[in-house]
């Protein structure tokens, strides 16, 4: 008899458990472009060299599985951020560049849409412009990620049962929301949104209004250059507090610029973007402890740059110059574009002493790019007919940037295989309620399907 009872309990309990344990709040986090090498590198970047052990990171603590990222067959095996975010948001694979639409360009419902229909509050918090591919795939439906203004318009125009899709939007985007033909910021304000354009205002959000926070023209400044190096974590803290309510909330958070660092093969930028994401996760670790009915799922949409720890047959990776960095390579390049290049200045900006050879790489990069620009201008002036076919040389700033990232790659022994994306699987991390659902190998579409289920959709 006892055995029978036990067997019945075993059969019934998982169902009762599954029924009762749906999380109240779901936070989905995308580290754009964050392939596994990035979180490994971050472990060594973050390591305290004074201790014998390599300290664990927040990523290490919460790894649960892996995810494949391939798009719909029409786009092959390597995804872009739009198709990947559409998969993560809707559970459907689509073509590269699609925003919340399927291969026939038919609009798809996102987990955010569905959460809103269930009476939850919704939000997006990103470090790109808020109408960029990843957040757009949760909030919009468009045949192309490049229709930025249309996507921005849809945030105001497309409602769910008469309500705005998002109760909270934080990121960049003045360029697309304050335009000559339309001022969406004013429209949102008139519709009752509280608008803020600086981080300080995050500490005094009016509890009962929906909020729109735009903090930059397009993407936010690089983490390392920003007046708050942990702006994602700051925005996240404010939004969890703001979105809390009886019915719970769904929120998308994106560390958008890991991908941008990967595209420009800039390991310094990548590490400081990861540091901001790590601080965000550390905050959410404590948040989940005090709100155990919250689920946090973290993954990457794909892998950018083919980043490698240990390149050129050297069995080493040395993050020292990354740790002591004060300025991004972008900022250093911009500064050197506008000022005469002296060794003292470059040393100061990079916060380490360059060898003579390294310095000559930087100054040569500038002078030869300037020359090429000059030659190009002269050719265009001489021959207007054929000038359309002439290839514009790289900008001086870009040339200086490459010379600096090359030096940093050599010093750290970092490698890159591409300026684009690779098709390698990505990691999945989870914490809080129902986190075990995300363990093992899954597809990016499964992540959306699991979230739909947790939100009560079959």
To Mg ion, the closest distance from the beta carbon of 132 in angstroms equals 6
Instruction: Return the number of the residue (256 or 327) whose C-beta is nearest Mg ion.
Output: 256
To Mg ion, the closest distance from the beta carbon of 266 in angstroms equals 16
Residue 81 annotated to the active site: yes
- Select from 113, 259, 301, 330 the one that contacts Zn ion (CB under 5 A): 259
From 174-182, 184-192, 234-242, 258-266, span contacting Zn ion (CB under 5 A): 258-266
> Binding to Mg ion (CB under 5 A): which residues in 29-48?
32
Instruction: Return the number of the residue (57 or 79) whose C-beta is nearest Zn ion.
Output: 79
273 near Zn ion, judged by CB under 5 A? no
134 near Mg ion, judged by CB under 5 A? yes
Report how far residue 59's alpha carbon sits from residue 42's, in angstroms, rounded to the nearest whole number. 9
Stretch 66-95: interaction string toward Mg ion, x if CB under 5 A: ---------------x--------------
266 near Zn ion, judged by CB under 5 A? no
Instruction: Return the number of the residue (114 or 260) whose C-beta is nearest Zn ion.
Output: 260
How many residues touch Mg ion (CB under 5 A)?
4
Instruction: Return the number of the residue (32 or 153) whose C-beta is nearest Mg ion.
Output: 32
Binding partner of residue 134 among Zn ion, Mg ion, none, CB under 5 to 8 Å per kind? Mg ion
Binding partner of residue 337 among Mg ion, Zn ion, none, CB under 5 to 8 Å per kind? none
Catalytic residue among 81, 128, 239, 402: 81
Question: How many residues in total does the chain contain?
Answer: 458
Shortest CA distance to 259 belongs to which of 7, 1, 2, 32? 32
Confirm if 35 and 303 have CB atoms less than 8 A apart: yes
Instruction: Return the number of the residue (238 or 253) whose C-beta is nearest Mg ion.
Output: 253
- Select from 86, 256, 327, 403 the one that contacts Mg ion (CB under 5 A): 256
Instruction: Return the number of the residue (84 or 278) whose C-beta is nearest Zn ion.
Output: 84
Stretch 216-255: interaction string toward Zn ion, x if CB under 5 A: ----------------------------------------
Q: Applying CB under 5 A, which residues contact Mg ion?
A: 32, 81, 134, 256
Q: Which residues are catalytic?
A: 81
Residues that bind Zn ion (CB under 5 A): 259
């Amino acid at each position: 008899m006892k055995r029978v009872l036990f067997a019945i309990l075993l059969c019934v309990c998982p169902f009762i458990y599954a029924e009762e344990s749906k999380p109240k709040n779901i936070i989905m986090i995308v580290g754009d472009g964050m392939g596994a090498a990035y979180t490994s590198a971050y472990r060594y970047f973050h390591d305290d060299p004074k201790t014998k052990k390599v300290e664990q990171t927040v990523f290490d603590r919460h790894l649960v599985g892996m995810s494949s990222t391939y798009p719909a067959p029409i786009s092959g095996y390597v995804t872009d951020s739009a198709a990947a975010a559409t998969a993560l948001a809707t559970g459907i694979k689509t073509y590269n560049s699609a925003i919340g639409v399927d291969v026939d360009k038919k609009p798809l419902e996102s987990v955010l849409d569905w959460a809103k229909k269930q009476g939850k509050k919704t939000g997006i918090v990103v470090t790109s412009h808020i109408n960029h591919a990843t957040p757009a795939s949760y909030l919009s439906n468009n045949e192309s990620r490049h229709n930025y203004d249309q996507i921005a318009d849809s945030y105001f125009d497309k409602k769910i049962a008469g309500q705005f899709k998002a109760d909270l939007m934080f990121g960049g985007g003045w360029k697309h929301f304050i335009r000559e033909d339309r001022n969406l910021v004013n429209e949102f304000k008139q519709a009752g949104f509280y608008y803020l354009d600086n981080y300080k205002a995050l500490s005094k959000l009016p509890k009962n209004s929906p909020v729109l926070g735009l903090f930059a023209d397009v993407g936010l400044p690089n983490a390392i250059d920003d007046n708050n190096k942990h702006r994602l974590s700051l925005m996240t803290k404010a939004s969890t507090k703001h979105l809390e309510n009886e019915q719970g909330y769904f929120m998308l958070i994106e560390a958008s610029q890991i991908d941008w660092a990967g595209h420009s093969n800039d390991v310094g930028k990548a590490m400081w973007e990861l540091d901001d994401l790590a601080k965000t996760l550390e905050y959410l670790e404590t948040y989940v402890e005090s709100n155990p009915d919250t689920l946090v799922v973290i993954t990457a949409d794909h892998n950018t740059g083919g980043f490698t720890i240990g390149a050129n047959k050297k069995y080493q990776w040395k993050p020292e110059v990354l740790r002591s960095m004060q300025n991004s390579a972008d900022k250093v390049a911009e500064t050197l574009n506008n000022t005469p290049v002296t060794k003292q200045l470059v040393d100061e900006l990079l916060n380490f002493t360059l060898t003579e050879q390294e310095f000559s790489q930087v100054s040569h990069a500038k002078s030869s790019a300037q020359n090429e620009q000059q030659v190009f201008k002269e050719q265009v002036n001489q021959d207007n007919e054929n000038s359309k076919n002439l290839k514009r040389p790289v900008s001086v700033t870009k040339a200086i940037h490459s010379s600096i990232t090359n030096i940093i790659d050599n010093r750290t022994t970092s490698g890159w295989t591409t300026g684009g994306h690779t098709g390698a699987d990505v990691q999945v991390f989870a914490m809080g309620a129902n986190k075990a659902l995300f363990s093992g190998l899954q597809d990016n579409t499964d992540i959306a399907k699991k979230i739909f289920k947790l939100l009560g959709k079959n």
